[in-house]
Amino acid sequence: MNRILTGMVPMRDGCRLFTSIHFPEGQGPFPVILVRNLYRAKGNLAARQDVTERGIALVEQDVRGSGLSEGRWENPWIQEADDGEDCLTWIASQPWCNGRIAMRGGSYLGASQWFAAKSGNDYLVAFSPGIAPCNYHESPKYQGGAFILQQNIGWALGTWKRNGPYDNTTVDTESLSNHLPLLDIDETAGLGEVPFWRKWLAHPCYDDYWREFDLASFADRIKAPAFVWSGWFDIYTQGALDSFMLMRNSAGSEEARFLTRCVIGPWAHSEPAGEIPLGDGEFSRRKFVEEPENAFLEARLKGTVPPPVAPLVYFMLGKNEWRTAESWPPPGVAERNFYLHSAGAANTRFGDGVLSMLPPEQELPDCFVSDPRHPVPTTGGHGICVPNGSHDQSGVEERSDVLVYTSETLSAPLTIAGRIFVHLHASSTAPDTDFTAKLVDVYPDGRAFNIANGILRARYRNSMEKAELLHPGEVCEFKIDLWSIANCFLPGHRIRLEIAGSDFPEFSRNNQTGGSIAEDSELRIARQTVYHDKTHLSRLILPVIP
């Protein structure tokens, strides 16, 4: 039986955090893996044999305001900077530690590592942040300027409830998603005024509040190499790739820049990727994350060189095979435009919408009505609580408020790897509205699987730092970011683009009044017009591997 110690570790402000230490056999001192956990059940001390059997001690700590730790969990993520640094320093001062510490964990446990590493602590020799954010404004809060709704209700308010005196309170995510105004959803849930909920809604723009969270603002202070991992349908897909490239280009030591690694697999936040066919190959997290992660951390903890592998390992959908690259996007990728065409009736998959590499000439625009009282439902994507991953879109493509543009059947494979954008020329009768875009792989049997999606709140069409309302009826260009994907469209398949005005409840509805999204309860209908002609080149931009 391995020895276990527990105790309360003081932070710099006197708050004490519950900490357990699992020791391997022997006298030590030992290298240490640290896990800072938001979700550990009170007093849970389950042994971690996979760590201790390799001669490594495991330290697990309940973050401030969770489990058996003191304090309040009222400053998510940012509170882990000082607390994480204090914990690293405390471990290094203990006689059972040999001065080499690594961190690991996913989601909040991954995010907590970035903030601990922010200090540049010399005792931290490696860390493995999985499924974690990079730019917290972009995700998990305001993708394209639209508030990520259901995930924040289910996760943020649900976690606040679990860590507070709310035993008889139920956070009904579905009903709360329909509540307006957004600002008092916390009170409606019976949780009082939740400080971070109010603060997030008070900062819809990317401003100094969010810069403090953004890895781009402190990557150059991180000295330890990272093993970053995520999935193509995770809420932090782009965050993982951006974090990887920031570390490779800007980390605070040559060692961190050279040794940082990344794995992106066919997963959502949890392992299943939805319904998209993945073939019979091996793609489990255990093989492609846990095994190389263990080898990476153990080598760093024992002062040896990690196994020689490519900096980036990613899964190519369609081909259902693993590929490697030195960077993201892979070298040699070239942008290719696919233009929107129709005779003015691209509504539904039965309409006349076409995707083509030929630019349009004179064509009628497409119109649809965006009604926030009857929003387009979320049917897959990057969410956590709503149906996430990849699913057949045939049903939602029968709605008249969804424009559908489809290519001809491919005679040769088309392979893409990189970030996807849609440049949409459109107008609205509203002073503010949303435009969504969804990239779909249409199979020969008609099934249509989403592989990338994005949204843009119109008031942020020029900058996430400043809101600018629309002039109703004015044609503007909207650049919609669908994040990154790697997919091979196979012969016999077709490429499809969906354009709509909502993706609910993954994202909050745009009230379309031009008022405060946080405080407005009024909902207005808007008429949207999408232009595609020789002066309005609405197009899908794909990163094609030659």
- All domains in the chain, ordered by first residue: 4-133+219-321 (3.40.50.1820), 146-203 (no CATH), 334-510+522-544 (2.60.120.260)
Spatial separation of the C-alpha atoms in residues 98 and 54, rounded to whole Å: 15
H and E: helices and strands count for the chain: 13, 23
Catalytic (active site) residue 220: no
Token pair, residue 373, equals: 């009282």
* Annotated catalytic residue within 82, 83, 234, 366: 234
Query: Cα separation of 152 and 514, whole Å?
Result: 23
Encode pLDDT of 53-98 as tens digits.
999 999 999 999 999 999 999 999 999 999 999 999 999 999 999 9
First to last CA, the chain: 57
**Residue of 69, 107, 390, 484 with catalytic role:** 107
Is 425 noted as a catalytic residue in this protein?
no
Q: Which residue in the list 269, 341, 493, 536 is annotated as catalytic?
A: 269
**Residue 489 CA neighbour count, 13 Å, CB half:** 28
Residue recorded with tokens 């994040």: 483
Instruction: Quickly state the pLDDT bin for 468 (edges 50, 70, 90).
Output: very high
pLDDT of residue 306: 85
Burial of residue 453 (number of CB atoms within 10 Å: 0-12, 13-18, 19+): buried
Give the per-residue pLDDT at 445.
Answer: 97
At residue 256, the pLDDT reads 97
108: CB partners within 8 A, 6+ apart: 38, 39, 63, 76, 77, 132
Could you tell me the pLDDT band of residue 1, with boundaries at 50, 70 and 90? low
Average pLDDT over residues 339-360: 98
In the block, tokens 């289910």 appear at 154
User: Rounded to two decimals, what is the model's pTM?
Assistant: 0.96
Q: What pLDDT, on a 0 to 100 scale, did the predictor assign at position 50?
A: 81
Confidence check: pLDDT of 272 > 90: no
Predicted pLDDT at 49? 65
Q: What is the mean pLDDT of the chain?
A: 96
The pLDDT assigned to 28 comes to 87
Stated as kind and residue range, the H or E segment containing 499 is strand 494-500
441 is catalytic: no
Structure-block tokens of residue 204 = 């819809």
- On whether the CB atoms of residues 508 and 149 are closer than 8 A, the answer is yes
Distance CA 424, CA 67 (A): 48
User: Quick one: which of 272, 392, 354 has its CA closest to 538?
Assistant: 354
The pLDDT value recorded for residue 387 is: 86
394, 400, 403, 409 alpha-carbon torsion, rounded to 10°: 40
